[in-house]
Chains A and B, each alone.
Chain A
Amino acid sequence: MTDPERLVEGDDLGAELLRSARALDAKHARERRAALIGAAAGVGAMAATKAASAGTTKGLLQGAFAKWVTLVIGASALGIGIAVGVAGGESDVPVAASRFAPAWRERTSLVAAASPPEPSETAEMPPEAPRVLQEPAPIQPTALPKGKRAPAAPAPSASTDRAARLAAELQALRVAREALASGDGPRALHALDDYAARFPRGHLALEAEVLRIEALSRAGDASAAARARRFLEAHPQSPYAERLRALAGGPSIP
């Protein structure tokens, strides 16, 4: 039996819609895989390579960076600040020295020892899909994404390349944060989409998610509260927990 010709191969509107959806779904699926499984898979990878000093934040980063870099995004009007100290070589500079350090450590130590919410024991298919947000940001010390809009000015060595990448991540989030601070929710969301597309395994994905929740909330999007609750379930001890609790209860922030 011969298959009929696919509509998607035509040149009408239907074909256009199908082609577009095919590309968009594939892109989203890749991004979500990176965000959800990248971290989960990281548990195994990290455990397996603990002896090779990749099991701790410091070891991981020492391996990744030749010299320490400290990049700080100061507190914005909304108060989100990210300070990441990266220690490498023989430097004594602390790995992270800010109130956001727990978030960084939490992300890199991942979820192996945590006790996240349990899926339902009884129902094969509970009426509500599980509200569990996975660790969205795996640390991938060896792989750099090669997106079409990769960070500019690639560095000659792996370590400076990574530092440049982190700086680019911070810059991308700064755009989102500034848009949010100026009340431009759509622009903030666009900047966050851009961040997600450029850094599907971004080191700052947790911070990006917090910004997204705030942007959605500001836009009056009802999904903000659910996302905030999921974030809180997954990261109850996060330094962002307190600010998100306020958003978990209602659809908008003042």
Chain B
Amino acid sequence: MTTVGTTQEGGEGVDWALSSPLSVAPVDGEAAARFRAIRDEHFEFVWRSVRRLGVPDADADDAAQQVFIVLSRRLEEITAGSERAFLFGTAMRVAMQVRRTMRRRGEVSLSEDEAQGLPLEPPDTGPDAEELLAQRRARVMLDEVLESLPLDVRAVFVLFELEEMRVPEIASLLGIPLGTAASRLRRGRELFQAELSRVQARKKRSIR
């Protein structure tokens, strides 16, 4: 078990530790309670973020857990109110790391791999199955389009379009000037539209 913090300085406090990346033991202690509160509040945001920053579905659990391992180690440095910013910044670095590892292993083309894994026809009949399949295909296509965005641009774009945050909130979350956030968003939208047209054209050609 990895001891990651103590409730007090000087050794009299109760050690708390991560018995695994998302669970804390013992269950009491101020730091452990804070970790749990942050984890419970922000887990879904972190999971969505790593996914949208380019980590494929199959690796998103691991990447999200990695973010929380980093959180556990740095908990004392994180001031109240800046947790979300810390988590998103860490999610960006973890996503970058995962993608780098995948490139080394030759697994760069996330979307193509996933697309190939999708059946051509729904495995079952019924509107739910078809809807699910359509959603997955759309997700694969979106991944493909988002791949054309540099990570810092992509971060602003997904926070704006998918998390529906406002530009000033994004600037604050990323610790960047408002103008920078706005210009990255503009750039993201241009790249998104351009790449979408390219992907569409490519798909049309491949169907012919």
- Could you mark each residue 160-182 of chain B with 1 if its beta carbon is under 8 Å from any beta carbon of chain A, else 0? 11101011100000000010001
User: What's the dominant secondary structure at chain A's contact region?
Assistant: helix
The contact size tier of chain B is 35 or more
Output the nearest chain A residue to B74 by Cβ-Cβ distance: A124
A5 to chain B minimum Cβ distance, whole angstroms, is: 10
Report the stretch among A55-63, A111-119, A152-160 that lies at the interface.
A111-119
Say which residue of A24, A37, A125 sits within 8 Å of B22 (CB atoms): A37
Count of chain A residues with a beta carbon within 8 Å of a chain B beta carbon = 63
Say which residue of B66, B141, B164 sits within 8 Å of A6 (CB atoms): B164
B167 touches A111 (CB 8 A): no
A180 to chain B minimum Cβ distance, whole angstroms, is: 13
Say whether A26 faces chain B, with CB atoms less than 8 Å apart: yes
* Residues in A whose Cβ lies below 8 Å from that of B189: 4, 7
In chain A between 1 and 43, which residues have their CB closer than 8 angstroms to a CB of chain B?
1, 3-4, 6-8, 13-14, 16-18, 20-26, 28-30, 32-33, 36-37, 39-41, 43
Say which residue of B97, B142, B145 sits within 8 Å of A125 (CB atoms): B97
Say which residue of A3, A14, A32, A43 sits within 8 Å of B25 (CB atoms): A43
* Residues in B whose Cβ lies below 8 Å from that of A130: 21, 62, 65-66, 69
Given A7-B189, A16-B138, A187-B124, A119:B200 Cβ within 8 A: no
- Could you mark each residue 48-87 of chain B with 1 if its beta carbon is under 8 Å from any beta carbon of chain A, else 0? 1001100001111111111001100100000000000000
CA distance A8 to B142 in the complex (A): 12
A112 touches B63 (CB 8 A): no
Say whether A106 faces chain B, with CB atoms less than 8 Å apart: no
A25 touches B2 (CB 8 A): no
A33 touches B43 (CB 8 A): yes
How many A-B residue pairs have C-beta atoms within 8 angstroms? Tell me. Answer: 176
CA distance A39 to B98 in the complex (A): 25
CA distance A43 to B73 in the complex (A): 21
A36 touches B1 (CB 8 A): no
B40 touches A41 (CB 8 A): yes
CA distance A130 to B182 in the complex (A): 35
A14 touches B193 (CB 8 A): yes
CA distance A139 to B70 in the complex (A): 28
A125 touches B94 (CB 8 A): yes
* Residues in A whose Cβ lies below 8 Å from that of B139: 20-21, 24-25
In chain B between 12 and 30, which residues have their CB closer than 8 angstroms to a CB of chain A?
18-25, 27
CA distance A118 to B27 in the complex (A): 18
* Residues in B whose Cβ lies below 8 Å from that of A117: 20
Say whether A131 faces chain B, with CB atoms less than 8 Å apart: yes
A215 to chain B minimum Cβ distance, whole angstroms, is: 11
B161 touches A134 (CB 8 A): no
B97 touches A32 (CB 8 A): no
A6 touches B160 (CB 8 A): yes
CA distance A118 to B25 in the complex (A): 13
* Residues in A whose Cβ lies below 8 Å from that of B23: 39-41, 43, 111-112, 134
A115 touches B1 (CB 8 A): yes
Say which residue of B45, B69, B134, B192 sits within 8 Å of A14 (CB atoms): B192
B108 to chain A minimum Cβ distance, whole angstroms, is: 15
Output the nearest chain A residue to B166 by Cβ-Cβ distance: A3
B95 to chain A minimum Cβ distance, whole angstroms, is: 10
Say which residue of A7, A22, A24, A134 sits within 8 Å of B136 (CB atoms): A24
CA distance A37 to B51 in the complex (A): 17
A12 to chain B minimum Cβ distance, whole angstroms, is: 9
Given A112-B19, A190-B123, A149:B132 Cβ within 8 A: no
Output the nearest chain B residue to A14 by Cβ-Cβ distance: B196
Say whether B109 faces chain A, with CB atoms less than 8 Å apart: no
* Residues in A whose Cβ lies below 8 Å from that of B119: 186
Say whether B8 faces chain A, with CB atoms less than 8 Å apart: no
B21 touches A132 (CB 8 A): yes
A125 touches B70 (CB 8 A): yes
Output the nearest chain A residue to B47 by Cβ-Cβ distance: A29
A116 touches B48 (CB 8 A): no
CA distance A111 to B57 in the complex (A): 25
* Residues in A whose Cβ lies below 8 Å from that of B60: 28, 32
User: Considering the complex of A and B, which 7 residue pairs feature the smallest CB-CB distances, nearest first?
Assistant: A129-B62, A40-B23, A20-B138, A29-B44, A190-B123, A44-B27, A29-B47
